[in-house]
Amino acid sequence: MSATNSRNILIRPARLSDLEDLVQLENVSFDTDRMSRRSFRHWITTDHRAILVAEVDGRFAGYILIIYHPGTRLARIYSLAVAIPYRGEGIAKLLMSAGEQAAIDDGRLYLRLEVGVDNVAAIGLYETLGFQKFGIYRDYYENHKDALRFQKCIRHYHDTLQHRPVHWLRQTTPFTCGPAALMMAMHGLNNSYQPSIEEEINLWREATTIFMTSGHGGCHPIGLALAAKRRGFKVDVWINRRDTLFVDSVRNDEKKQVVELVDTCFKREAEEQGVDVHYIDVTQNELINAFKAGAIPLILISTYQLDKKKAPHWVVMSGFDNDCLYMHDPDPEEGRKGELDCQFIPIACEDFDRMSCFGKSRLRTAVVLWPD
């Protein structure tokens, strides 16, 4: 509870009984990109979020919605609105401060938001609260206006994020995370390289393991490296195991034989084509040192911390600091996270070791593309 201009202001968690007030405020506050009644009901009743409302003398005055992304240390301010009679009284600042504290209490390291480039008042507030601009998102809103991207480190450290301007790409099928990640890395090192859907499928055909536990096979690290080599990139592979990769995720004996054959063929071709395969433990320090040297690593992770599915998934390293490694994830997974939530994702160092270890064999592998 706090007081501003002799008014009693209460910030509290939203309840289902606030639903009508939330919808009414949303419709008054925004001409486009409005949240629906169904969305508000979802966020009030689900986990991985903080939705707070402000009351002034017992009257509904505003709300803030902050979304937490599982498996990461990132929180994002999804929406903020203050009722017209209460604007100019510091309600937005109080909601922002309360939302930031909620994110801190949930163990988040970074708080992000997007704001229209012409929303001068909001930009001024965010800058006053310590947010720093780190990008722009073109054609972000339904009315085609651009959005500025702001970020604030809500745990205080004495280091600076080092990142690479890697263009983010969405995978267009459920099984082409590897090709999408590889296209990001190749374009990041050579902007004359042009990704396309046709290229994405061709890369998968060149690098696929054929089978996985079910459905289409994913991509073998050496297969991805060979595909990059064919396109003129300097590349090597890091693997912590010498045996057949992914075979323990295939139950059918005939399919196992195919996976073993593909693995053997990739390793033989790598030797013939001069692609270096290093059988080493893939550590954070090795990845960071490669990144410092100008390389862009592709890293295989398990999605268990993200979605509890234990699936192999390729991501691209896009930055690091003393506490996190940052990733571009090519899979937004509609309904769970959007495009902006998949870029520069902060993975805490203590979480990364668990995430970058796949399967019963505890496979760690990376495909590292180097600058010329």
CA angle (350, 306, 165) in 5-degree steps: 75
Instruction: Give residue 351's pLDDT band: very low, low, confident or very high (50, 70, 90).
Output: confident
92 & 58 share domain: yes
Q: Residue 85 has which token pair?
A: 């009679």
Phi–psi pair at 4, nearest 5 degrees:
-135, 125
- Checking if the pLDDT of 28 tops 90, the result is yes
Residue 172 inside a domain? The answer is: no
Asked, for residue 360, whether it belongs to a domain, the answer is yes
23: in domain: yes
Mean pLDDT of 210-227: 86
- The CATH code of the domain that includes 129 is 3.40.630.30
Based on the fold, state whether residues 316 and 358 are members of the same structural domain.
yes
Confidence of residue 47 (pLDDT cuts 50, 70, 90): confident
- How far apart CA 185 and CA 124 sit, in angstroms, is 35
Identity of the residue numbered 26:
E
pLDDT at 145: 87
One-letter amino acid of 38: R
User: Is 335 found in the same domain as 275?
Assistant: yes
> If you count DSSP H runs as helices and E runs as strands, how many of each does the chain have, helices first?
11, 16
What is the per-residue pLDDT for 360? 84
Q: Is pLDDT of 53 > 90?
A: yes
Torsion sign across C-alpha atoms 219, 221, 226, 227: positive
Q: Are residues 188 and 78 in the same domain?
A: no
Using the predicted structure, report yes or no on whether residue 223 has a pLDDT greater than 60: yes
pLDDT at 242 over 80: yes
163 within some domain: no
Do 65 and 184 lie in one domain? The reply is no
Q: Phi first, then psi: give them for residue 341, nearest 5 degrees.
A: -75, -10
Could you tell me if 225 and 106 lie in one domain? no
Both 327 and 256 in a single domain? yes
Give me the residue label for tokens 């009984």: 17
Comparing CA positions, the residue from 296, 290, 338, 330 lying closest to residue 314 is: 330
Same domain for 145 and 264: no
Please indicate, yes or no, if residue 161 is contained in any of the structural domains. Answer: no
Q: Give me the mean pLDDT over the 209-234 stretch.
A: 89
Whether residues 109 and 182 fall in one domain: no
What integer is the mean pLDDT of 103-126?
90
Checking if the pLDDT of 156 tops 70, the result is no
pLDDT at 363: 93
Closest Cα to residue 4, out of 99, 62, 98, 90? 90
Residues above pLDDT 70, as percent of the chain: 92
pLDDT at position 157 is: 45
Least confident of 63-67, 153-157, 196-200, 254-258: 153-157
Pair 200, 52 in one domain:
no
Q: Which of 126, 156, 186 is the last residue of a domain?
A: 156
- What is the per-residue pLDDT for 159? 52
Residue 245, domain CATH = 3.90.70.10
- Provide the residue range defining the domain that includes 361: 177-370
Decide if 168 is inside a domain: no
134 phi, psi to nearest 5 deg: -130, 15
The token pair at 28 is 């008054």
Q: Based on the domain organization, do 343 and 279 belong to the same domain? A: yes
Q: Which two tokens stand for residue 203?
A: 């890369």
Kindly state whether residue 165 falls inside one of the protein's structural domains.
Answer: no
3-state secondary structure 85-145: HHCCCCHHHHHHHHHHHHHHHCCCCEEEEEEECCCHHHHHHHHHCCCEEEEEECCCCCCCC
DSSP 8-state secondary structure symbol assigned to residue 129: T
Q: How many domains does the chain have?
A: 2
Are 312 and 362 contained in the same domain? yes
Answer with the one of 123, 156, 189 that is the final residue of a domain.
156
- Does residue 76 form part of some domain? yes
CA distance 149 to 131: 10
